A and B are shown apart, each in its own frame.
Chain A
Amino acid sequence: MNRRLIRRTAAMGLAGALALGLAACGGPTGGASTGDGRELTYWSMWKEGEPQQKALSAAIEDFTAETGIEVDVQWQGRDVLKKLQPTLHGVPAADLVDRSLPQVKSMMVSTGTAADLTGVLKEPIPGEPGRTVGDVVPAKYLELGRAEGKQVVLPYAIVANGLWYDGASFPGLREKPPKDWDAFRATLAAEKKAGRAPLALDADIPDYGAYWYSNFVVGAMGPGSLHEAAADRTGTVWKQPGYVRAAERVAALAEDGYFADGYDASKFPAIQQKWATGKAGFLLMGSWIAGETKPYAASGFDFRMLPFPTDGAPGAGTPVEAATFGWVVPAKARQSEAARRFIAFLYGKKQMQAYADQAQGIVAREDIETAPAMADVARALKEGTPYPTFDGVDMDFAEWWTKTFHPLSTKLVTGKISAADFSEQLAAQSADFWKRAG
């Protein structure tokens, strides 16, 4: 065989590889032209067969019938933004998507590819003369979709976190909720004394374990307090009395054996299933839990939610951890005009009611009737102060959250370290993290 030939082929291959490699890193950057407004492509976070998908599918039919605008919809599922991301800098593959703020912030806001939808608030709602989108969506929900001063997510559905329980097991709790954590702890102690597990938690999901510390911090010091500590690059804020006390609250639950047996050594959703079948009292979880556990919940399970009791938080309303699903338009979307019309159409009362009925959830209009399982959530959101899940820490300091906070928080909630050690280590490791991250 000819050596020169081999060498030449190899060199050619390498050159080709380099060129292709570099091409793969670049990608098109050309701007998008404006479309004709007669069609739009919508990539959904829902999957075929989910109640939300059925609701939106019906709404799309109505929209096309009324406006003549064709909607090419693809039910992509929760990874929708990951799939869309490679096209965001060229011609986006979709003119409209839906997702929650943490994902939009990570994938789109960080790369400047999410459009500001503040203008949509002025759009009139078809069939409701004189009312605009901004008139019907409460400001506190809009706040859950804002980043860097822009309305990047326009909420259409809300989920809220709280302590879920079976109304039949705790009669009277709804009418006379505990005024603060200490009062609620008495309920838990009584449960424990009666030989029942007061709390359920699948601690193998780090976020579920983290709900506890997060809620105690915000419950004691108000929304923004967890974020403030996480933003402190010296880590010293974690050692302040309020934060240490929140850690002590969590550690006490683990120490006193308040969580259902096996919570620290099971595979999700084992403990959640225990709760749904009446083997544990309360589950700190988002409002999707009613739909998620319904298929296997004990018959007659009356889904009720108690907002996480305050632990001295300043301000009037109880802080309620919440997140939204909302509309997102890529900055370079070709059919952004049609997308905006579609969004305005979906805020119509008839459409929102149909969605709430089908999805059995809370929508971003307060004048909509909610399903019985969502009654407490609606009330908590109305009377309380919604704040982003984990105070927005998981989206703004995601790497720190996963690598520094999660391991320590799981140890705390499973009783492997004391509150003092947790606070010490969190402070030291956070300082280290920020030193590395620069």
Chain B
Amino acid sequence: MTTAVPDAARATAPTRRRTAGRAAVGPFAAHRKRLYLPFVLPAFLLYAAFLLAPVVATAWISLHAWAGAGPMEWVGAENYTRMFLDPVFRTSFGNTLLLLFGGGTVTFLLSFVLTMLLRDLAGRSTARSVIFFPNIVPALVISILWGFLFQADGLLNSALRSIGIAHPPAWLAEENQFKVIMLGIIWMSTGYYTTIIMAAVDRIPPYLYEDCALAGANAWQRFRHVTLPLSWDVIGICAVLWTINAMKTFEFILAMAGSASSMPSTSTWTASLYAYTSVFAPTGVPQYGIAAASAVVTLALVGVLVVLIRRLMRREALEF
């Protein structure tokens, strides 16, 4: 049976606890209050030093022109205006969004389909391990193999030629390269999200599906009325994870489209690569200000998207 727990009921619990805390004056509570700082402070200092400080420093650097050493020159919002006017940034940002939304849609669709197929499959734990495998292998290794697979004389084109296609597509040509990269990322991520969603689906009591079978529900109806609502929270978390991972996509592109001494072509850049190349291009004075501005924009976008996703996906919690 599923029971809806109203939001209001959940909200009262912490309130009650808070009131109790404030009212308490016993020796235990006082002691606990004294110990609050010594316990929280070390963790907070570490957090401040290694997470908050770099974020604040990044925001600060984004308002300057700086070569990474030497004096910093205050330029205000100029890095941001320059960046948004830069066609290469617009391409990079467009690629990031394409990956985020286009790649995300495909990844989640595939994950749902796989989840539904694997749910009833015999030996599904083996199948699950197999589809999770691409996620264990480092992205760098996969991207390099991916390159060999898709290049002009690669495995794929050799296979296509052997079945009679004389002119197979130029997968790695500049205009197709980002699409192939997206395909690689989708392939790598699908197993990961399928595994998480399957873990949630496994918790759904089988009798609900039996119920569906008795009522004559088809696969889509089972998915729509049982699987989706009962794994909604987990899907929400997956959406947040995907957003963060997609916005940070970096090493796959660098390894697949670049080489030891050369950056990938600008048509494959994402916002992260844009930030990286602003500082670590093989030549040129490092532009820490621009890189930081790009990082701040990415961070802001991730923040907004995560909040939006959480809001959009908020539902009454179901207990079953």
Contacts and interface: CB of A to CB of B under 8 A. Distances in A.
> Most chain-B Cβ atoms within 10 A of its Cβ — which of A9, A110, A403, A414?
A403
Contacts of A429: 87
Contacts of B259: 204-205, 268
A262 B153 contact: yes
Contacts of B205: none
A102 B265 contact: no
Contacts of A263: 152
Interface of A is mostly: helix
B283 interface: yes
A234 interface: no
A110 B82 contact: no
B58 to A, nearest CB: 8
A20 B49 contact: yes
Interface in A1-41: 1-2, 5, 9, 12-14, 16-18, 20-22, 24-25, 27
B172 A204 contact: yes
Contacts of A236: none
B69 interface: yes
B285 A110 contact: yes
A25 B72 contact: yes
Contact of A206 (B68, B173, B262): B262
Nearest to A27: B69
A113 B70 CA distance: 9
A264 B170 contact: yes
Contacts of B41: 9
Interface stretch (A84-92, A130-138, A306-314, A357-365): A84-92
Contacts of A107: 67-68, 285-286
B195 interface: no
Contacts of B280: 82
Interface in A170-212: 204-207
B85 interface: yes
Interface residues of B, number: 63
A207 B61 CA distance: 30
A267 interface: yes
B53 A21 contact: yes
A239 interface: no
B315 interface: no
Contacts of A401: 283-284
A22 B37 contact: no
A394 B151 contact: no
B281 A21 contact: no
Nearest to A265: B170
Contact of B151 (A27, A262, A406): A262
Interface string B157-186: 000000000000011111110000000000
Contacts of B40: 9
B292 to A, nearest CB: 11
Contacts of A270: 151-153
Contacts of A204: 172, 257, 259, 265
A255 to B, nearest CB: 16
> Most chain-A Cβ atoms within 10 A of its Cβ — which of B54, B257, B281?
B281
A437 B82 contact: yes
A112 B44 contact: no
A437 B45 CA distance: 40
A429 B266 CA distance: 15
28 contacts: A1-B18, A9-B37, A13-B48, A14-B48, A14-B56, A17-B56, A20-B49, A24-B54, A25-B60, A102-B283, A103-B282, A106-B283, A107-B68, A107-B286, A111-B68, A112-B70, A113-B70, A206-B263, A207-B262, A261-B152, A263-B152, A265-B152, A265-B172, A266-B153, A267-B172, A398-B281, A399-B284, A403-B87
Interface of A: 1-2, 5, 9, 12-14, 16-18, 20-22, 24-25, 27, 78, 82, 85-86, 88-89, 102-103, 105-107, 110-113, 204-207, 261-268, 270, 394-395, 398-399, 401-403, 406-407, 410-411, 414, 416, 429, 436-437
Given A204-B265, A270-B152, A398-B284, 20 more contacts: A2-B22, A9-B41, A17-B48, A17-B53, A20-B49, A21-B57, A25-B57, A27-B69, A103-B283, A262-B153, A264-B174, A265-B176, A268-B259, A401-B283, A401-B284, A402-B266, A406-B265, A407-B267, A414-B174, A436-B85
